[in-house]
Structure 1
Amino acid sequence: MDNGKVDLNKQYRIVVDLRSLNKMCAKVEMPGMRIESLIPLSKEATRFISIDLCQSFHQFELDEVDRIFFDIAYPGMPCLRFKRLPQGFINSPVYMKYLLEKKIPSDLLQLYYDDGIRGTDTDLFAHIRIVEQIFRKLGDCDLKINASKSLLCATKLQVLGFEVSQYGAKPGARARNIMEKYKVLKSSDDIRRFLGFISYYKRFLPKLGILLQPITKLLRKNVVFTWCDECQLNFDKIKNLLLENPRLYTEVKNEPLMVNTDASFEGFGGCLYQMINAEFRPLLYWSATHRHNLRIKSAIYLELQGVIEFFRDNRHRLVGKKIIYWFVDNKSAVNILNNGVTDDERFLSWLSKLPLNIKFFHISGSKNYIADTLSRDIQHTDVNSSEGREGEINSVAAKRNRGKPKKISKELELDDENDEENNLTSNQKLFIQKLHEKGHFCYKKIYHLLDENLVKIKEKWQEKN
């Protein structure tokens, strides 16, 4: 207190309990922020600016018609009213964001919550001029910044839990510290908290959807919570993936985007990346598990479903691009995607949702390392070659045993495969041939379709012998 006046900015802050008011107000949801929507990830920036507003809510005045909703009443005293946006009101963040975006253009400063960032790829003097422009605009809007928390020329920033630099983004140091100290999950609530934390970094972690499968099963109804060895093993794998300091690179605008997707009975996998000077640069990883489908689906169905699921989850990175090269390890699926010729109505509905700027290519399964194993290593053929534009990338070592069953049920097991083939009728051989003409069907699908016929064939074969 100085001469009877209180400096509220340094010693005191008005705190009012607005919970009763919040219960009567409809909450306005704030649009979610995507890390890739920020300016530093949309182009290669070498220097960064971070602006922190001090007491951000109290810097914005309320309109006269809105002040009547923020009265503070005490017995025997007149009502006191807020003239500025109160802290603690349920819709204060949304209203503040609206006022900030109304005053400050996004091309000058990218705003998120009460902070703003800007990335530049210019020399130092041009960078300083941009800082001056930002300060002048904030001064015109009568906004004050916290100088101790603001950065005017930095090589990297901590933004929304990520560390952003000229090379791209990776999980921040705080996220890695939390993951390193994370204890074993002991209840369903612990699993939900862990899923909320780790899902925020899912695009950095290959195989996350499949690794989480045994853990998320514990959240199902009528399932006793038992933390088994498989859960602990997958938990440790997820922990190591985040602690390995994974990085997603900045997208280079003039280079084409590439996508690899693959599907299996365990789930789906995919990766969005670019090849810059023969260097593999991942932009995001994606994985998902199957829903609870009782029917066994064909390989074509699974591959097309993997394509459409990847597009739905990452369309914000694909729509509006000049050209996208998409690699799938199923020739029949590639033909359907490129030509759009199919009798399946579901496939047609999926095709109608894909943009026309995507070119699909076939890649041999042995080379589809990115999506097949969701690893970070890649040995890829240049898509600009004439061989790639014809729609076929030849395999160095083809998977000769791809699609063959590892185990066959005892009911269908025969001593001599040639004898089984010789005992097939012409209609059965024709039926199998038609199946293979439609695409590479998985062995479970074929056994599911021919189960009864194969049992009869075995019985006849045993009677003859």
Structure 2
Amino acid sequence: MTVSPGAMSCVFDVLVSKDVESHFTKLSIVLQRFADVGLKLNLPKYSFLKSSIQFLGHFVDKHGIHTNDGEVKVVRDFPTPRSAEHVRFFLGRAGYYRAFLKNFVSIASPLTRLLMKDTSFQWCDIHQKSFDFFKLALTEAPVLVFPDYSFSFTICTDASGDIRDVLMQQVDGFYTDHTAVPQLYKGNNLSGRLTRWFLTIEEFNPTLKHI
């Protein structure tokens, strides 16, 4: 979640800023917010002015977000699954880095089919190819560069039950083929999960368009 512009947190982990120029200003804002709600920090567990850092299983530096060598090694050294439970565990570890793996869902589909109810476990060539692909792909995973906020963005979403990916381009707008989304964004009579989505999207003040 976003603590303030330029800072994000997950449970007790907080990451502030990506450049020295704005670091102290943003850090002051974050620390003040902690003080406002009565939170106390254990300073020995915090690091300041680091050029690179491990954060939520990723390695972050000025170039962008990288996979963590330790986590990649777990996937790379994972033995050939002998049960559906082994497949589920492997996909959980590989799926943590799905943002680095193009077409993750389609490539994983042979393995995910082994997890379907009443499916007998039979390991075939198609499963081995999918398994080996993930091992190789994570070893050669790209760096996820930071977005350039001097540009505006378009987010294109698909309402298909099978396709859940989001495409971001540096042009203006939010396009969706789901007719209900523009209506939901009006914020009328929302509750639960829809309210949380509405508040998250509202931070970016988007223009929604149905296509």
The TM-score, its normalising length taken from structure 1, stands at: 0.34
> 1:308: which partner in 2?
159
Instruction: Work out whether residues 168 and 250 of structure 1, in 8 Å CA contact, stay in contact via their aligned partners in 2.
Output: yes
Q: 1:353 aligns with which of 181, 188, 199?
A: 181
- Report whether the alignment pairs 1:200 with 2:96: yes
State the alpha-carbon separation in 1 of the partners of residues 96 and 120 from structure 2: 27
The 5 Å alignment of 1:29-68 reads none
After superposition, the Cα gap between the structure-2 partners of 1:109 and 1:207, relative to the gap in structure 1 and judged at 3 Å, is closer
Instruction: Work out whether residues 257 and 323 of structure 1, in 8 Å CA contact, stay in contact via their aligned partners in 2.
Output: yes
> 2:112: which partner in 1?
216
Deviations 1:396-420 (A, max 9, x none): xxxxxxxxxxxxxxxxxxxxxxxxx
State the alpha-carbon separation in 2 of the partners of residues 236 and 142 from structure 1: 46
State the alpha-carbon separation in 2 of the partners of residues 199 and 257 from structure 1: 26
> 1:455: which partner in 2?
none
The 5 Å alignment of 1:132-143 reads 141=38, 143=40
- Report whether the alignment pairs 1:230 with 2:133: no
After superposition, the Cα gap between the structure-2 partners of 1:121 and 1:222, relative to the gap in structure 1 and judged at 3 Å, is closer
> 1:187: which partner in 2?
83
Tell me how far 1:314 sits from its aligned partner. Answer: 5.6
State the alpha-carbon separation in 2 of the partners of residues 241 and 250 from structure 1: 21
After superposition, the Cα gap between the structure-2 partners of 1:254 and 1:358, relative to the gap in structure 1 and judged at 3 Å, is farther
State the alpha-carbon separation in 2 of the partners of residues 199 and 164 from structure 1: 19
> 2:68: which partner in 1?
172
Q: 1:323 aligns with which of 166, 172, 188?
A: 172
State the alpha-carbon separation in 1 of the partners of residues 142 and 112 from structure 2: 24
What SS does the aligned partner of 2:15 have? strand
The 5 Å alignment of 1:252-401 reads 252-257=148-153, 307-309=158-160, 313=164, 323-324=172-173, 350-353=178-181, 357-358=208-209
Unaligned runs of 5+ in 2: 183-205
Instruction: Work out whether residues 111 and 117 of structure 1, in 8 Å CA contact, stay in contact via their aligned partners in 2.
Output: yes
State the alpha-carbon separation in 1 of the partners of residues 25 and 75 from structure 2: 40
State the alpha-carbon separation in 2 of the partners of residues 220 and 135 from structure 1: 47
Tell me how far 1:183 sits from its aligned partner. Answer: 1.3
State the alpha-carbon separation in 2 of the partners of residues 131 and 233 from structure 1: 47
> 1:116: which partner in 2?
14
After superposition, the Cα gap between the structure-2 partners of 1:210 and 1:132, relative to the gap in structure 1 and judged at 3 Å, is closer
Tell me how far 1:351 sits from its aligned partner. Answer: 3.9
The TM-score, its normalising length taken from structure 2, stands at: 0.67
- Report whether the alignment pairs 1:158 with 2:7: no
Instruction: Work out whether residues 211 and 234 of structure 1, in 8 Å CA contact, stay in contact via their aligned partners in 2.
Output: yes
> 2:191: which partner in 1?
none
State the alpha-carbon separation in 1 of the partners of residues 143 and 160 from structure 2: 23
State the alpha-carbon separation in 2 of the partners of residues 325 and 108 from structure 1: 22
After superposition, the Cα gap between the structure-2 partners of 1:162 and 1:142, relative to the gap in structure 1 and judged at 3 Å, is closer
Tell me how far 1:133 sits from its aligned partner. Answer: 6.3
Tell me how far 1:244 sits from its aligned partner. Answer: 0.8
Deviations 1:333-367 (A, max 9, x none): xxxx9xxxxxxxxx8xx44536964597xxxxxxx
After superposition, the Cα gap between the structure-2 partners of 1:135 and 1:106, relative to the gap in structure 1 and judged at 3 Å, is closer
After superposition, the Cα gap between the structure-2 partners of 1:307 and 1:178, relative to the gap in structure 1 and judged at 3 Å, is same
The code of the aligned residue for 2:99 comes to: R
What SS does the aligned partner of 1:219 have? coil
Deviations 1:221-240 (A, max 9, x none): 44321111111111111111
State the alpha-carbon separation in 2 of the partners of residues 235 and 182 from structure 1: 10
After superposition, the Cα gap between the structure-2 partners of 1:143 and 1:211, relative to the gap in structure 1 and judged at 3 Å, is same
After superposition, the Cα gap between the structure-2 partners of 1:162 and 1:133, relative to the gap in structure 1 and judged at 3 Å, is same
Instruction: Work out whether residues 65 and 145 of structure 2, in 8 Å CA contact, stay in contact via their aligned partners in 1.
Output: yes
Instruction: Work out whether residues 107 and 130 of structure 2, in 8 Å CA contact, stay in contact via their aligned partners in 1.
Output: yes
Aligned residue-pair number: 185
Instruction: Work out whether residues 76 and 135 of structure 2, in 8 Å CA contact, stay in contact via their aligned partners in 1.
Output: yes
Instruction: Work out whether residues 163 and 169 of structure 1, in 8 Å CA contact, stay in contact via their aligned partners in 2.
Output: yes
The code of the aligned residue for 2:172 comes to: I
Tell me how far 1:325 sits from its aligned partner. Answer: 8.6
State the alpha-carbon separation in 2 of the partners of residues 219 and 230 from structure 1: 15
Deviations 1:79-115 (A, max 9, x none): xxxxxxxxxxxxxxxxxxxxxxxxxx64585332123
The code of the aligned residue for 1:113 comes to: V
Percent of aligned positions that are identical: 21
What SS does the aligned partner of 2:88 have? helix
Deviations 1:5-48 (A, max 9, x none): xxxxxxxxxxxxxxxxxxxxxxxxxxxxxxxx55xxxxxxxxxx
The code of the aligned residue for 2:114 comes to: L
